[in-house]
Chains A and B, each alone.
Chain A
Amino acid sequence: MEHILEVRGLCKYFGSTVANDHIDFDLSPGEVRGLAGENGSGKSTLLQQIAGIYRKDEGTMTLHGQAYDPATPIDAIRNKVGIVVQELGCLSNLPAGVNVFSGRLGQFKNHGILDMKRIYKEADALFETYGLMKVPLHKPCSQLSIESRKMIELARALSSDPDILILDEVTQSLSQNNRDMLYRLMEKLKKEGKTIVIITHDLEEMLELCDTISVLRDGHLITTKPCEEMDTDEVKRLMVGREVSSEYYRSDMEANYQKEVVLEVKHLTVPKEVEDVSFELHKGEILGFCGLSDSGIHEVGKAVYGISKNRTGTVTLHGEASVEIKNISAATSNGMAYVPKDRDGEALMMRDSIASNFVLPSLGELQGKGIFLSPKKINKMAREGAEEFQVKCSGIRQKMEGLSGGNKQKVNLGRWLLKDLNVIVLDCPTRGVDVSVKAYIYHVMSEAKKKGLSMILISDELPEVLGMSDRLLIMKDGKVQGEFTRGNRFTQEALIEVMV
């Protein structure tokens, strides 16, 4: 079969780092290709060069038999190469509909004035054609959920009717129903002879969706093989370069926690988001929350931690004395923590140092009763923390934005676990991290559980909540729809039945 894209000897350097080292990479029409590799192996870099986000340093690319060297993403789109990037790429103050066509608004000009009606109409038609989840197109992107923003980006990539569609960790931001939608869409595009390249850390998903898988390691393309010849263990082995144990969730199949109730939530209601949710969290328990998009699981986390406005109902923390958690400061001062889903936007100070990020929640304890905050203590805490949680960095003064997703998340989680906590709310703690970091995070969670920490685990990934929770609450339309306890009927099929 003719190749639609041929990449030969592609190299990309970032300073002294070799991100892509002489990569040969071909794509055929109607092919679904998966790219596997650990964080920092160069997958995203490779695809971003194809999509015009980065300029290649060496090598050649041939598209439809012609030399191809896109200078900008717009350039790539003109050549019918569309990408949805891993980190959220929307202009947050522009309406969603405008974002769909950003960079190409010229085509809507009518005597020098933008025809807004036509923009919204065509955006709407686009969502219709591809069967994407409906998004309020008039709202600015900043007011939309991560999932809706992903839909906008997907629509933007699809708007040029691309021959090559690149999806860089898209499914991780989607809930089950939208994942299914995306799978169907991929099926349809494949039938039309389009080429799709996906990156996902969920290897089972990748094996199911793809025809062939290319594995990258340290900037080298190790191999490209048909999916039939591989299984997850094989892919993992190729990614890491050695044998990895396939078991990373909890091994016990019994619920296991103490009787003592740590957190009591009664009639929790947030207008339009959460409706009358009540539950108890026990000492040493991992309580899972799952549901489809807009089921309210993320909002429950925010409401429990005191972030949501107009919250009604009570959240009571039972320790030596019972305290009602009315706002964030009550939560933090009583040993509660919250790890948000939007790591770069809501959890970490990207342009500040690792040290600053690490000590931020502990500044009160570090200063103690005195009026002096010792830089020595700060550095010590950050250094020990970075070591304990195996953060790969050039030093604690390195800026946060230079770290890979997995290492960012280790800082994000580690800084809370250093503290003496009672309850931690984890919203998608393994979003955008690779298998080895994922395994590490589950390990850390299990250790914390043993020490008696109670956790609320909110996740879009069913295997994760199933793998880690003692009890599971399933939500739909802001309400609790069902409860499962770790044991026999703890399967994806059983959950989905209640969820949908």
Chain B
Amino acid sequence: MEKRIDMNKLVPVISLVAMALIFTVFTNGVMLSFYNIRMLIDQTVVLIIACIGTVFVTSLGSVDLSVGVVCGFTAVVGDLVYRATGSTALMVIAAMAIGTGIGAMNGFLISKCKLPSFMATLSLLIGLRGIINYIQSIAGINYASPQLMVLQKEAVKIPLLLVIVAVFWYTFEYTKFGKYCQSIGENEIVAKYTGVPVAKSKIFCYMISGFTASLAGIFTVARLGGTSTTMGTNFEMKVLIAIYVGGVLVRGGATARSYKVMIGAFVVMIIENGLKIMGYASSEINEAAQGILLMVILFLTIYFENHTVKRKKTNA
């Protein structure tokens, strides 16, 4: 049996190593210092949580642009609940319920009403932001519950992260549901004809995505120490780019894998973090450089995907 190296699987690993190496060199090793790695992980937690859930939606070949706004919205509403009841537990539960609920709504609109996912979640992105601003204009900005700040402790944060990642990794890679999602992304008609419950699976995917977005919201509040109107702005883009940089293709399907989004999240954060250490904190150079690096990685991902496909096809 001939073994072929699938470049689509290798590119994310190569880009992670390359980025880590490049920035270690350019930052004179500061990048790999104990302190910085701790900070890097700390910064990446929220992104990983959102990515590991959103990949379900990406595997369908769809997008969820509402991740950032759901993240902000659940935080703001959670804050209201906390102020009204004084209970941190209720706040967390409310946030998670709202995130999941919004996801279910997205899923319903997309699977049953046949709205294209891009449009459905884009309108939500705009609309919900308005509601966030409205709530904040009335309620004002508030400090987070002191009990919630526990989440900032590494001894709590890291194990929680691991549990969250484990649950969704497992669900995606080792259950029939995960395979169903991939098959829908590969070819929805095929999935339907082989008995995959397409609509149900789609709704469930968006629920997961909404749920993890709300978790990301809770962690962000703990990290920032409070809510703000801009919370979660452009976060959905960061999530998407992390997923794509990890080697998942926009068409989803079998190219969507849990390990890829983890790698992607780290690549994105290493680039951001590395540029900051190098002193390019100002957005002009920082964002331009980020854009260029991400473009290069995405180009390589697509190039090798097409390249291997072409070679395999012609071997028929």
In the assembled complex, A466 has its CB within 8 A of some CB on chain B: no
A402: chain B residues at CB < 8 Å are 312-313, 315-316
Contact call A373/B313, Cβ cutoff below 8 A:
no
Contact call A351/B186, Cβ cutoff below 8 A:
yes
How distant is the Cα of A36 from the Cα of B254 in the complex, in angstroms?
A: 36
How distant is the Cα of A402 from the Cα of B176 in the complex, in angstroms?
A: 25
How distant is the Cα of A359 from the Cα of B176 in the complex, in angstroms?
A: 10
Contact of B175 among A360, A373, A398 (CB under 8 A): A373
The stretch from B20-28, B32-40, B118-126, B177-185 touching chain A is: B177-185
The stretch from A71-79, A257-265, A341-349 touching chain B is: A341-349
How distant is the Cα of A46 from the Cα of B193 in the complex, in angstroms?
A: 35
Q: Which residue of A lies closest to B178 (CB)?
A: A373
Contact call A361/B194, Cβ cutoff below 8 A:
yes
Interface of A: prevailing SS: mixed
How distant is the Cα of A456 from the Cα of B168 in the complex, in angstroms?
A: 41
Closest beta carbon of chain A to B253's beta carbon, Å: 6
Contact call A356/B190, Cβ cutoff below 8 A:
no
How distant is the Cα of A86 from the Cα of B110 in the complex, in angstroms?
A: 35
Closest beta carbon of chain A to B146's beta carbon, Å: 37
How distant is the Cα of A402 from the Cα of B4 in the complex, in angstroms?
A: 13
Contact call A17/B315, Cβ cutoff below 8 A:
yes
How distant is the Cα of A399 from the Cα of B191 in the complex, in angstroms?
A: 17
Contact call A14/B190, Cβ cutoff below 8 A:
no
Contact call B174/A353, Cβ cutoff below 8 A:
no
Contact call B313/A346, Cβ cutoff below 8 A:
no
Contact call B316/A403, Cβ cutoff below 8 A:
yes
Closest beta carbon of chain A to B306's beta carbon, Å: 11
Closest beta carbon of chain B to A350's beta carbon, Å: 7
Closest beta carbon of chain B to A399's beta carbon, Å: 6
Contact call B176/A352, Cβ cutoff below 8 A:
no
How distant is the Cα of A404 from the Cα of B187 in the complex, in angstroms?
A: 19
Contact call A328/B176, Cβ cutoff below 8 A:
no
Complex interface bits, B107-138 against A, C-beta within 8 A gives 1, otherwise 0 = 00000000000000000000000000000000
B183: chain A residues at CB < 8 Å are 349, 352, 356, 360
What is the total number of residues of chain B having a CB less than 8 Å from a CB of chain A? 32
In the assembled complex, A366 has its CB within 8 A of some CB on chain B: yes
Contact call B189/A352, Cβ cutoff below 8 A:
no
How many pairs of residues, A versus B, come closer than 8 Å at their CB atoms? 104
How distant is the Cα of A137 from the Cα of B191 in the complex, in angstroms?
A: 31
Contact call A329/B176, Cβ cutoff below 8 A:
no
Contact call A338/B316, Cβ cutoff below 8 A:
no
Contact call A349/B309, Cβ cutoff below 8 A:
no
List B234-276 residues whose CB lies under 8 Å from chain A: 251, 253-254
Q: How large is the interface on A (under 10, 10 to 19, 20 to 34, 35 or more residues)?
A: 35 or more
Contact call B197/A329, Cβ cutoff below 8 A:
yes
How distant is the Cα of A328 from the Cα of B176 in the complex, in angstroms?
A: 18
How distant is the Cα of A373 from the Cα of B192 in the complex, in angstroms?
A: 20
In the assembled complex, B282 has its CB within 8 A of some CB on chain A: no
Contact call A338/B315, Cβ cutoff below 8 A:
no
B187: chain A residues at CB < 8 Å are 345-346, 348-350
List A8-22 residues whose CB lies under 8 Å from chain B: 14-15, 17, 19
How distant is the Cα of A361 from the Cα of B187 in the complex, in angstroms?
A: 14
Contact of A329 among B1, B195, B251, B315 (CB under 8 A): B195
Q: Which residue of B lies closest to A340 (CB)?
A: B193
In the assembled complex, A333 has its CB within 8 A of some CB on chain B: yes
A329: chain B residues at CB < 8 Å are 195, 197
How distant is the Cα of A356 from the Cα of B255 in the complex, in angstroms?
A: 12
List A47-81 residues whose CB lies under 8 Å from chain B: none
In the assembled complex, A394 has its CB within 8 A of some CB on chain B: yes
In the assembled complex, A241 has its CB within 8 A of some CB on chain B: no
The verdict on A328 contacting B312 (CB below 8 Å), with A349-B254, A373-B174 known, is no
Contact call A331/B195, Cβ cutoff below 8 A:
yes
How distant is the Cα of A331 from the Cα of B197 in the complex, in angstroms?
A: 12
Closest beta carbon of chain A to B75's beta carbon, Å: 31
A202: chain B residues at CB < 8 Å are none
Contact call A349/B193, Cβ cutoff below 8 A:
no
Complex interface bits, B276-316 against A, C-beta within 8 A gives 1, otherwise 0 = 00000000000000000000000000000000010111111
How distant is the Cα of A139 from the Cα of B178 in the complex, in angstroms?
A: 37
Q: A352-B254, A356-B186 are in contact. List 5 more A-B contacts (CB 8 A).
A: A15-B315, A329-B195, A349-B183, A367-B175, A394-B4
Q: What are 9 A-B pairs with beta-carbon distances under 8 A?
A: A329-B195, A331-B195, A348-B187, A352-B186, A363-B179, A364-B176, A373-B175, A373-B179, A402-B313
Residues of A with Cβ closer than 8 Å to B? 14-15, 17, 19, 40, 305, 307, 328-329, 331-333, 338, 340, 345-353, 356, 359-361, 363-364, 366-367, 371-375, 394-395, 398-399, 401-404
